[in-house]
Structure 1
Amino acid sequence: MVTVRTVHTADLDPADRRAARELLFEVFGADDMTEEDWSHCLGGMHVLALEGGRLVGHAAVVQRRLMNGDRILRTGYLEGVVVRRDRQRRGIGGQLMDEAERVVRAAHEIGALGASEAGVPFYLARGWRRWPGPTWALGPNGRQRTAEEDGWIYLLGGESELDPAADLVCDWREGDLW
Protein backbone atom coordinates (compact mmCIF):
# COMPACT_ATOMS: atom_id res chain seq x y z
CA MET A 1 0.00 0.00 0.00
CA VAL A 2 1.36 3.40 -1.01
CA THR A 3 0.78 6.43 1.17
CA VAL A 4 1.40 9.96 -0.03
CA ARG A 5 2.34 12.80 2.24
CA THR A 6 3.23 16.43 1.62
CA VAL A 7 5.85 18.28 3.61
CA HIS A 8 7.71 21.57 3.23
CA THR A 9 11.49 21.43 2.88
CA ALA A 10 11.79 23.09 6.30
CA ASP A 11 9.92 20.17 7.88
CA LEU A 12 11.54 17.37 5.87
CA ASP A 13 13.46 15.23 8.34
CA PRO A 14 17.10 14.48 7.45
CA ALA A 15 16.43 10.82 6.63
CA ASP A 16 13.61 11.66 4.18
CA ARG A 17 15.67 14.45 2.64
CA ARG A 18 18.60 12.07 2.12
CA ALA A 19 16.29 9.34 0.73
CA ALA A 20 14.71 11.78 -1.75
CA ARG A 21 18.10 12.95 -2.99
CA GLU A 22 19.35 9.35 -3.33
CA LEU A 23 16.19 8.33 -5.21
CA LEU A 24 16.60 11.14 -7.74
CA PHE A 25 20.26 10.33 -8.37
CA GLU A 26 19.50 6.60 -8.60
CA VAL A 27 16.68 6.93 -11.15
CA PHE A 28 18.03 9.80 -13.25
CA GLY A 29 21.70 8.82 -13.01
CA ALA A 30 24.73 11.04 -12.55
CA ASP A 31 24.61 12.19 -16.18
CA ASP A 32 21.10 13.67 -15.84
CA MET A 33 21.04 14.64 -12.14
CA THR A 34 23.33 17.22 -10.56
CA GLU A 35 23.61 18.90 -7.18
CA GLU A 36 22.12 22.03 -8.81
CA ASP A 37 19.16 19.95 -9.98
CA TRP A 38 18.69 18.68 -6.43
CA SER A 39 18.89 22.23 -5.06
CA HIS A 40 16.06 23.20 -7.44
CA CYS A 41 13.82 20.77 -5.50
CA LEU A 42 14.38 22.58 -2.20
CA GLY A 43 12.44 25.43 -0.64
CA GLY A 44 8.94 24.32 -1.47
CA MET A 45 6.59 21.40 -0.96
CA HIS A 46 7.74 17.80 -1.32
CA VAL A 47 5.25 15.10 -2.22
CA LEU A 48 6.54 11.77 -0.95
CA ALA A 49 5.19 8.35 -1.91
CA LEU A 50 5.97 5.72 0.73
CA GLU A 51 5.50 1.99 0.51
CA GLY A 52 6.14 0.01 3.67
CA GLY A 53 7.89 3.06 5.10
CA ARG A 54 10.31 3.20 2.15
CA LEU A 55 10.40 6.18 -0.22
CA VAL A 56 9.35 5.03 -3.71
CA GLY A 57 8.38 8.36 -5.31
CA HIS A 58 9.04 12.08 -5.03
CA ALA A 59 7.86 15.34 -6.56
CA ALA A 60 8.58 18.90 -5.48
CA VAL A 61 6.54 22.04 -6.09
CA VAL A 62 8.64 25.18 -5.76
CA GLN A 63 7.50 28.74 -6.32
CA ARG A 64 8.91 30.54 -9.33
CA ARG A 65 7.92 33.62 -11.30
CA LEU A 66 7.14 33.35 -14.99
CA MET A 67 6.61 36.39 -17.17
CA ASN A 68 4.31 36.34 -20.17
CA GLY A 69 3.89 39.63 -21.98
CA ASP A 70 3.36 42.15 -19.18
CA ARG A 71 2.07 39.56 -16.67
CA ILE A 72 4.13 38.13 -13.82
CA LEU A 73 2.64 34.82 -12.75
CA ARG A 74 3.16 33.07 -9.40
CA THR A 75 4.03 29.62 -10.64
CA GLY A 76 4.15 26.23 -8.95
CA TYR A 77 7.10 24.69 -10.74
CA LEU A 78 7.48 20.90 -10.55
CA GLU A 79 10.93 19.48 -9.94
CA GLY A 80 12.29 16.03 -9.18
CA VAL A 81 9.25 14.02 -10.27
CA VAL A 82 10.41 10.43 -9.99
CA VAL A 83 9.27 6.91 -9.12
CA ARG A 84 11.67 4.12 -8.22
CA ARG A 85 12.28 2.00 -11.33
CA ASP A 86 10.86 -1.22 -9.89
CA ARG A 87 7.67 0.61 -8.86
CA GLN A 88 6.95 2.41 -12.13
CA ARG A 89 3.75 1.77 -14.10
CA ARG A 90 1.78 1.03 -10.91
CA GLY A 91 -0.05 4.35 -10.48
CA ILE A 92 2.41 5.89 -8.02
CA GLY A 93 3.33 8.69 -10.44
CA GLY A 94 -0.36 9.52 -10.75
CA GLN A 95 -0.73 9.64 -6.97
CA LEU A 96 2.27 11.98 -6.73
CA MET A 97 0.88 14.21 -9.45
CA ASP A 98 -2.62 14.29 -7.93
CA GLU A 99 -1.14 15.86 -4.81
CA ALA A 100 1.40 18.07 -6.61
CA GLU A 101 -1.35 19.42 -8.89
CA ARG A 102 -3.55 20.07 -5.86
CA VAL A 103 -0.75 22.17 -4.36
CA VAL A 104 -0.27 24.02 -7.65
CA ARG A 105 -3.96 24.84 -8.02
CA ALA A 106 -4.39 25.86 -4.38
CA ALA A 107 -1.33 28.10 -4.07
CA HIS A 108 -0.32 29.30 -7.54
CA GLU A 109 -1.74 30.96 -10.62
CA ILE A 110 -0.30 28.33 -12.96
CA GLY A 111 1.82 25.19 -12.91
CA ALA A 112 4.89 24.60 -15.06
CA LEU A 113 7.52 21.93 -15.60
CA GLY A 114 10.27 20.94 -17.97
CA ALA A 115 9.34 17.53 -19.36
CA SER A 116 11.55 14.68 -20.47
CA GLU A 117 10.68 12.87 -23.67
CA ALA A 118 9.49 9.87 -21.66
CA GLY A 119 7.31 12.06 -19.44
CA VAL A 120 5.43 13.91 -22.20
CA PRO A 121 2.62 11.35 -22.72
CA PHE A 122 2.08 11.14 -18.95
CA TYR A 123 1.79 14.92 -18.54
CA LEU A 124 -0.42 15.35 -21.62
CA ALA A 125 -2.80 12.66 -20.33
CA ARG A 126 -3.11 14.66 -17.09
CA GLY A 127 -4.11 17.87 -18.88
CA TRP A 128 -0.75 19.63 -19.00
CA ARG A 129 -0.17 21.43 -22.29
CA ARG A 130 2.99 22.25 -24.21
CA TRP A 131 3.99 25.91 -24.34
CA PRO A 132 3.91 26.65 -28.09
CA GLY A 133 6.22 29.66 -28.22
CA PRO A 134 9.77 30.66 -27.44
CA THR A 135 11.26 30.44 -23.96
CA TRP A 136 13.58 32.87 -22.24
CA ALA A 137 15.17 33.47 -18.84
CA LEU A 138 15.56 36.82 -17.13
CA GLY A 139 19.15 36.88 -15.92
CA PRO A 140 21.84 39.19 -14.61
CA ASN A 141 22.42 40.58 -18.10
CA GLY A 142 18.77 40.81 -19.12
CA ARG A 143 16.74 38.35 -21.16
CA GLN A 144 18.54 35.24 -22.34
CA ARG A 145 17.09 32.97 -25.01
CA THR A 146 16.61 29.32 -23.94
CA ALA A 147 15.87 27.79 -27.34
CA GLU A 148 16.94 24.33 -26.15
CA GLU A 149 13.87 24.34 -23.89
CA ASP A 150 11.38 25.22 -26.64
CA GLY A 151 8.79 22.47 -26.90
CA TRP A 152 9.72 20.94 -23.53
CA ILE A 153 7.93 23.34 -21.15
CA TYR A 154 4.46 22.21 -20.06
CA LEU A 155 1.84 24.26 -18.25
CA LEU A 156 -1.17 23.50 -16.08
CA GLY A 157 -3.95 26.08 -15.88
CA GLY A 158 -3.59 29.70 -16.82
CA GLU A 159 -5.33 29.45 -20.17
CA SER A 160 -7.02 32.80 -19.61
CA GLU A 161 -3.90 34.45 -18.12
CA LEU A 162 -1.38 33.52 -20.81
CA ASP A 163 -0.85 35.15 -24.18
CA PRO A 164 0.46 32.45 -26.56
CA ALA A 165 1.75 35.18 -28.89
CA ALA A 166 4.05 36.56 -26.16
CA ASP A 167 7.28 35.03 -24.89
CA LEU A 168 7.42 32.90 -21.75
CA VAL A 169 10.24 34.03 -19.47
CA CYS A 170 11.41 32.31 -16.28
CA ASP A 171 13.27 33.77 -13.34
CA TRP A 172 17.02 33.16 -13.09
CA ARG A 173 18.69 30.36 -11.17
CA GLU A 174 21.95 28.44 -11.29
CA GLY A 175 22.17 25.34 -13.44
CA ASP A 176 19.32 24.44 -15.75
CA LEU A 177 17.21 27.57 -16.09
CA TRP A 178 13.95 25.73 -16.74
Structure 2
Amino acid sequence: MVTLRRTAELVPAQLDEVRAFLDDAFGDFSDDDWRHALGGRHALVHEDGVLVAHGSLVPRRLLAGGRSLRTGYVEAVAVRPDRRRRGHGGAVMAALEALAPAYDLLALSASDAGVPLYEARGWQCWRGPTSVLTPTGLVRTPEDDGSVYVLGGSVDLDSPIGCDWRDGDVW
Protein backbone atom coordinates (compact mmCIF):
# COMPACT_ATOMS: atom_id res chain seq x y z
CA MET A 1 0.00 0.00 0.00
CA VAL A 2 1.29 3.45 -0.96
CA THR A 3 1.19 6.36 1.45
CA LEU A 4 1.27 9.89 0.01
CA ARG A 5 2.78 12.64 2.16
CA ARG A 6 3.86 16.20 1.52
CA THR A 7 7.47 16.90 2.45
CA ALA A 8 6.21 19.24 5.20
CA GLU A 9 4.17 16.38 6.70
CA LEU A 10 7.23 14.16 7.20
CA VAL A 11 8.89 14.44 10.59
CA PRO A 12 12.69 14.56 10.73
CA ALA A 13 12.99 10.83 11.52
CA GLN A 14 10.92 9.99 8.42
CA LEU A 15 13.01 12.31 6.25
CA ASP A 16 16.15 10.67 7.62
CA GLU A 17 14.69 7.25 6.76
CA VAL A 18 13.92 8.34 3.18
CA ARG A 19 17.37 9.92 2.72
CA ALA A 20 19.14 6.79 4.01
CA PHE A 21 16.98 4.63 1.73
CA LEU A 22 17.84 6.76 -1.31
CA ASP A 23 21.54 6.81 -0.42
CA ASP A 24 21.48 3.00 -0.33
CA ALA A 25 19.36 2.68 -3.48
CA PHE A 26 21.44 4.97 -5.67
CA GLY A 27 24.89 4.81 -4.12
CA ASP A 28 25.73 8.24 -5.54
CA PHE A 29 22.71 10.20 -4.30
CA SER A 30 24.02 13.73 -3.72
CA ASP A 31 22.79 16.54 -1.49
CA ASP A 32 21.52 18.25 -4.67
CA ASP A 33 19.60 15.08 -5.62
CA TRP A 34 18.08 15.08 -2.14
CA ARG A 35 17.01 18.72 -2.41
CA HIS A 36 15.43 17.96 -5.81
CA ALA A 37 13.25 15.29 -4.19
CA LEU A 38 11.85 17.68 -1.57
CA GLY A 39 9.06 20.23 -1.67
CA GLY A 40 6.31 18.15 -3.18
CA ARG A 41 4.56 14.86 -2.52
CA HIS A 42 6.24 11.58 -1.56
CA ALA A 43 4.88 8.15 -2.43
CA LEU A 44 6.12 5.70 0.20
CA VAL A 45 5.75 1.92 0.37
CA HIS A 46 6.50 0.16 3.66
CA GLU A 47 6.50 -3.59 4.29
CA ASP A 48 6.71 -4.79 7.86
CA GLY A 49 7.67 -1.28 8.94
CA VAL A 50 10.56 -1.05 6.44
CA LEU A 51 10.64 1.46 3.59
CA VAL A 52 10.88 -0.56 0.35
CA ALA A 53 9.94 2.00 -2.34
CA HIS A 54 9.85 5.76 -2.81
CA GLY A 55 9.18 8.41 -5.41
CA SER A 56 8.39 12.09 -5.22
CA LEU A 57 6.57 14.59 -7.40
CA VAL A 58 7.77 18.19 -7.17
CA PRO A 59 6.55 21.32 -8.94
CA ARG A 60 8.73 22.71 -11.72
CA ARG A 61 8.37 24.92 -14.79
CA LEU A 62 9.17 23.54 -18.22
CA LEU A 63 9.25 25.64 -21.40
CA ALA A 64 7.79 23.97 -24.47
CA GLY A 65 5.81 25.09 -27.49
CA GLY A 66 6.21 28.73 -26.51
CA ARG A 67 4.53 28.11 -23.16
CA SER A 68 5.62 27.86 -19.55
CA LEU A 69 4.12 24.61 -18.30
CA ARG A 70 3.30 23.90 -14.66
CA THR A 71 4.93 20.51 -14.38
CA GLY A 72 4.87 17.75 -11.82
CA TYR A 73 8.43 16.43 -11.97
CA VAL A 74 9.11 12.90 -10.76
CA GLU A 75 12.23 12.45 -8.64
CA ALA A 76 13.99 9.79 -6.60
CA VAL A 77 12.05 6.70 -7.69
CA ALA A 78 13.64 3.64 -6.12
CA VAL A 79 12.75 0.15 -4.93
CA ARG A 80 14.87 -1.96 -2.59
CA PRO A 81 16.74 -4.56 -4.68
CA ASP A 82 15.30 -7.49 -2.70
CA ARG A 83 11.74 -6.19 -3.22
CA ARG A 84 11.85 -5.53 -6.97
CA ARG A 85 9.51 -7.15 -9.50
CA ARG A 86 6.64 -7.11 -6.98
CA GLY A 87 4.81 -4.07 -8.34
CA HIS A 88 6.16 -1.51 -5.89
CA GLY A 89 7.62 0.75 -8.59
CA GLY A 90 4.35 0.67 -10.49
CA ALA A 91 2.41 1.43 -7.32
CA VAL A 92 4.63 4.43 -6.57
CA MET A 93 4.22 5.71 -10.13
CA ALA A 94 0.44 5.19 -10.07
CA ALA A 95 0.17 7.25 -6.88
CA LEU A 96 2.26 10.06 -8.37
CA GLU A 97 0.44 9.93 -11.72
CA ALA A 98 -2.88 10.31 -9.88
CA LEU A 99 -1.71 13.83 -8.99
CA ALA A 100 -1.52 14.80 -12.70
CA PRO A 101 -4.73 16.90 -12.74
CA ALA A 102 -2.90 19.57 -10.71
CA TYR A 103 -0.39 20.06 -13.54
CA ASP A 104 -0.15 20.82 -17.26
CA LEU A 105 2.28 17.95 -17.69
CA LEU A 106 4.20 15.29 -15.77
CA ALA A 107 7.89 14.81 -16.59
CA LEU A 108 10.98 12.97 -15.42
CA SER A 109 14.53 12.18 -16.41
CA ALA A 110 14.80 8.41 -16.85
CA SER A 111 17.74 6.17 -16.13
CA ASP A 112 18.27 3.30 -18.55
CA ALA A 113 16.97 0.92 -15.87
CA GLY A 114 13.80 2.99 -15.39
CA VAL A 115 12.81 3.33 -19.05
CA PRO A 116 10.90 -0.01 -19.27
CA LEU A 117 8.76 0.91 -16.23
CA TYR A 118 7.92 4.36 -17.58
CA GLU A 119 7.24 3.25 -21.14
CA ALA A 120 4.98 0.43 -19.90
CA ARG A 121 2.96 3.07 -18.04
CA GLY A 122 2.49 5.22 -21.17
CA TRP A 123 5.24 7.77 -20.61
CA GLN A 124 6.71 9.09 -23.86
CA CYS A 125 10.29 10.05 -24.65
CA TRP A 126 10.77 13.72 -25.51
CA ARG A 127 12.41 13.62 -28.93
CA GLY A 128 13.24 17.31 -29.26
CA PRO A 129 16.37 19.04 -27.95
CA THR A 130 16.67 19.81 -24.24
CA SER A 131 17.91 23.03 -22.63
CA VAL A 132 18.05 24.74 -19.27
CA LEU A 133 17.04 28.32 -18.51
CA THR A 134 20.07 30.02 -16.95
CA PRO A 135 20.55 33.65 -15.87
CA THR A 136 22.04 34.27 -19.34
CA GLY A 137 19.25 32.52 -21.26
CA LEU A 138 18.57 29.04 -22.61
CA VAL A 139 21.61 26.74 -22.74
CA ARG A 140 21.46 23.41 -24.58
CA THR A 141 21.83 20.22 -22.54
CA PRO A 142 22.56 17.68 -25.30
CA GLU A 143 23.67 15.08 -22.74
CA ASP A 144 20.04 14.95 -21.58
CA ASP A 145 18.49 14.50 -25.03
CA GLY A 146 16.52 11.25 -25.12
CA SER A 147 16.29 10.89 -21.33
CA VAL A 148 13.32 13.18 -20.64
CA TYR A 149 9.94 11.43 -20.51
CA VAL A 150 6.51 13.05 -20.25
CA LEU A 151 2.95 11.99 -19.51
CA GLY A 152 -0.16 13.95 -20.39
CA GLY A 153 -0.42 17.43 -21.78
CA SER A 154 -0.83 18.42 -25.39
CA VAL A 155 2.74 19.03 -26.46
CA ASP A 156 4.84 18.44 -29.56
CA LEU A 157 7.42 15.84 -28.48
CA ASP A 158 9.74 16.93 -31.31
CA SER A 159 9.90 20.58 -30.25
CA PRO A 160 12.61 22.04 -27.99
CA ILE A 161 12.02 21.78 -24.25
CA GLY A 162 13.67 23.71 -21.44
CA CYS A 163 13.69 23.34 -17.68
CA ASP A 164 14.18 25.83 -14.88
CA TRP A 165 17.68 26.11 -13.38
CA ARG A 166 18.67 24.20 -10.26
CA ASP A 167 21.96 23.12 -8.74
CA GLY A 168 23.23 19.65 -9.60
CA ASP A 169 21.59 17.77 -12.44
CA VAL A 170 19.20 20.21 -14.09
CA TRP A 171 17.02 17.45 -15.59
Q: 1:102 & 1:124 partners in 2: Cα distance?
A: 17
Q: 1:87 & 1:40 partners in 2: Cα distance?
A: 25
TM-score by length of 2: 0.97
Greater than 3 Å deviation, 4+ residue runs: none
Choose which of 10, 17, 22 in structure 2 pairs with 1:24.
22
TM-score by length of 1: 0.93
Structure 2 residue aligned with 1:172: 165
Q: 1:164 & 1:154 partners in 2: Cα distance?
A: 9
Structure 2 residue aligned with 1:74: 70
CA, structure 1 residues 145+90, in 2 after alignment: closer, same or farther (shift >3 Å)?
Answer: same
Q: 1:127 & 1:65 partners in 2: Cα distance?
A: 22
Structure 1 residue aligned with 2:109: 114
Structure 2 residue aligned with 1:86: 82
The one-letter amino acid paired with 2:15 is R
Structure 2 unaligned runs (5+)? none
Q: How does 1:37-48 map to 2 (within 5 A)?
A: 37-48=33-44
Kept in 1, the 8 Å contact 2:127–2:159? The answer is no
Secondary structure, counterpart of 1:175 in structure 2: coil
Q: What's the offset of the Cα at 1:165?
A: 4.3
The one-letter amino acid paired with 1:176 is D
Q: What's the offset of the Cα at 1:134?
A: 0.2
Q: Give the number of aligned pairs.
A: 171
Identity %: 50
2:33 is aligned with 1:51? no
The one-letter amino acid paired with 2:161 is L
Q: What's the offset of the Cα at 1:70?
A: 1.3
Structure 2 residue aligned with 1:10: 8
Q: 1:54 & 1:130 partners in 2: Cα distance?
A: 33
State the Cα RMSD in Å.
0.9
Choose which of 151, 154, 157 in structure 1 pairs with 2:152.
157
The one-letter amino acid paired with 1:140 is P
2:131 is aligned with 1:133? no
Q: 2:101 & 2:48 partners in 1: Cα distance?
A: 29
